[in-house]
Amino acid sequence: MKIGYLQRKASWEILLKVSSGYFSDQALEKVLKNYHFNTLDIAFVTELSFGCIRYRKFLDLWTDHISKIPYQKQPPKLRWLLHIGLYQLLKMDKIPFSAVLSTTVEVAKQTDLKGLSGTVNAILRNAVRKIETENFPEISNNSVERISYIESLPLWIVNELVSWVGIKDAENIAKAFNKKPTIDMRINLLKTNLENLLKLLKENKISAEAINKLNNGITLRSNPRNIKSLPGYKEGLWTIQDRSSQWVAPLLSPKEGEKILDACAAPGSKSTHLAELTNDNAEIIAIDRSEKRLKILRSNIDRLNLKCVKILKADATSLPNLYPNFLSYFDKILIDAPCSGIGTFSRNPDSRWSLNKDKIKELIKLQKKLLKNLFPLLKKDGILVYSTCTICPEENGLLIKNFINKNKKIKLDFQKQILPSFDFPGDGFYAARISYK
Ligand SMILES: C[S@@+](CC[C@H](N)C(=O)[O-])C[C@H]1O[C@@H](n2cnc3c(N)ncnc32)[C@H](O)[C@@H]1O
């Protein structure tokens, strides 16, 4: 099937779903169920819809530049369709302008925007004229505002980035938020190895390569149609896990026979990693307060055929009260805390628009409570790793520093902050290893 109006229509439907509260990946999955698309179509729909979601602010700026009605006053369905057209014109190289116009106008004609198809045509034609004559929207000279428009981020986020890392790194991080995320896999070494898995993928015409510095990570170069249909998935030969997240479980140096608590465990990428690293021969207690997410954890454990992970639904902050026998019980504790997720913005295109400072404040309260209430569950010679997929210092290094300053018997052994960067393919991540002095 040629890439035509149906792929644009599906992309537009994804934008509608996201604006009604769906996460981008849920919206994509739901919409794709209604179409019979091949791998190339899916890659196109993903790029177009996720690109429009990431670049919402930039596309609104352009909408105001080409239309008499400002974007806030456009009917939402029209606003999203204009974004579909504009993103192709401004950010996708290989599509002739004429094809963008005809297919996008066709979406209007085939849906309840029928009465506005002439308007869509006129506005997008105006956009083409302005692009061809290099008549671009004016953007302020202020560096923070420029990054906010060009990289399409809320102004408050750019201000935060600049206060954390300075303007130069903030710009690099902002650019990294708009790149296509990698698909990394962690090999289940209990069942296979790097060489055999690469061979299996190659036999199935899936292009993949080893990830430098990780002895059991590989990254896909092909665009798979559906992750779950890739060879070795059902057999539990691998788990999807970003390369930055893959170095967290090894920080605990997990060993056979140890008692390990994974306090915020679902959907289980780190619990299963811990089980694999201990030869499926440790006592791993995986806790989460979300029943729905624990179901996914259960299915991952079953698929990987791991036996040593016990699941418990609980609020981890209440564990010392719920299970007093857990005090000083664990050799290792992992708190992979709920966080603002700023390190994974490129993977979750909508999250930059739904996050706000109040949410971060609430998360910091919870993170502090998790750390304070769970540390006493550690044995005197144990190790606790606290990790997040964010780059906000108050959720990471500053939180750990305050905790240690208040507890003179605890020391920081190691910490690392990975910042998202345009040249680094993984997510932003933080981890700290702490223990008794
Ligand atoms: C960052 S995710 C964990 C990801 C997981 N460790 C992995 O690697 O797949 C944070 C998890 O914490 C859970 N959570 C949030 N607050 C919690 C609490 N008070 N007690 C237990 N789990 C909590 C969320 O439901 C979410 O699944």
89 close to ligand 1 (CB < 6 Angstrom): no
Q: Which atom of ligand 1 is nearest to the CA of 273?
A: 8
pLDDT at 8 over 70: yes
pLDDT at 244 over 80: yes
Q: How does residue 215 score in pLDDT terms, banded at 50, 70 and 90?
A: confident
pLDDT at 219 over 90: yes
316 close to ligand 1 (CB < 6 Angstrom): yes
Q: Ligand 1 centre from 424 Cα, in Å?
A: 26
- Average pLDDT of the chain to the nearest whole number: 95
Q: Is the sign of the CA dihedral 56, 78, 136, 156 positive or negative?
A: negative
Rounded CA separation 302/418 (Å): 31
**Phi, psi (degrees; rounded to nearest 5) at 67:** -125, 150
Residue type (1 letter), 118 = G
With pLDDT > 70 as the criterion, what percentage of the chain qualifies?
99
Rounded CA separation 228/39 (Å): 14
pLDDT at 213 over 80: no
427 close to ligand 1 (CB < 6 Angstrom): no
The CA R_g of the chain, rounded to the nearest whole Å, is: 24
Closest to 286 (Cα-Cα) out of 222, 269, 276, 303: 269
Tokens 């066709």 locate to 106
C-alpha angle 301-239-413 in degrees, rounded to nearest 5: 90
Rounded CA separation 22/26 (Å): 6
**291-338 pLDDT, tens digit each:** 999 999 999 999 999 999 999 999 999 999 999 999 999 999 999 999
266 close to ligand 1 (CB < 6 Angstrom): yes
**255-292 pLDDT, tens digit each:** 999 999 999 999 999 999 999 999 999 999 999 999 99
392 is an active site residue: no
| Residue to mutate (ligand 1; options 264, 333, 344; most atoms within 8 A of CB) | 264
Tokens 């550690």 locate to 378
Question: What 3 state SS string does the chain have?
Answer: CCCCHHHHHHHHHHHHHHHCCCCHHHHHHHHHCCCCCCHHHHHHHHHHHHHHHHCHHHHHHHHHHHCCCCHHHCCHHHHHHHHHHHHHHHHCCCCCHHHHHHHHHHHHHHCCCHHHHHHHHHHHHHHHHHHHCCCCCCCCCCHHHHHHHHCCCCHHHHHHHHHHHHHHHHHHHHHHCCCCCCEEEEECCCCCCHHHHHHHHHHCCCCEEECCCCCCEEEECCCCCCHHHCCCCCCCCEEECCCCHHHCHHHHCCCCCCEEEECCCCCCHHHHHHHHHCCCCCEEEEEECCHHHHHHHHHHHHHHCCCCEEEEECCHHHHHHHCHHHCCCEEEEEEECCCCCHHHCCCCCCHHHHCCHHHHHHHHHHHHHHHHHHHHHEEEEEEEEEEECCCCHHHCHHHHHHHHHHCCCEEEEEEEEECCECCECCCCEEEEEEEEC
Among 36-40, 150-154, 220-224, the range scoring the smallest mean pLDDT is: 220-224
Find the mean pLDDT for residues 45-69. 96
Q: Ligand 1 centre from 25 Cα, in Å?
A: 19
269 close to ligand 1 (CB < 6 Angstrom): yes
Q: What is the pLDDT of residue 228?
A: 85
Rounded CA separation 286/273 (Å): 12
Among 140-149, 151-160, 188-197, 207-216, the range scoring the smallest mean pLDDT is: 207-216
Q: How does residue 51 score in pLDDT terms, banded at 50, 70 and 90?
A: very high
pLDDT at 1 over 60: no
| Residue to mutate (ligand 1; options 240, 246, 272, 288; most atoms within 8 A of CB) | 288
Structure tokens at 311: 């699941």
Q: How does residue 224 score in pLDDT terms, banded at 50, 70 and 90?
A: low
Q: Ligand 1 centre from 335 Cα, in Å?
A: 8
**360-391 pLDDT, tens digit each:** 999 999 999 999 999 999 999 999 999 999 99
pLDDT at 222 over 60: yes
**Nearest CA owner, ligand 1 atom 11:** 264
Q: What is the pLDDT of residue 417?
A: 96
Residues linked to residue 277 through DSSP beta bridges, in sequence order: none
Find the mean pLDDT for residues 26-40. 93
11 close to ligand 1 (CB < 6 Angstrom): no
Distances (CA, A) of 187 to 37, 238, 248: 29, 4, 15
192 close to ligand 1 (CB < 6 Angstrom): no
Find the mean pLDDT for residues 196-200. 95
pLDDT at 27 over 70: yes
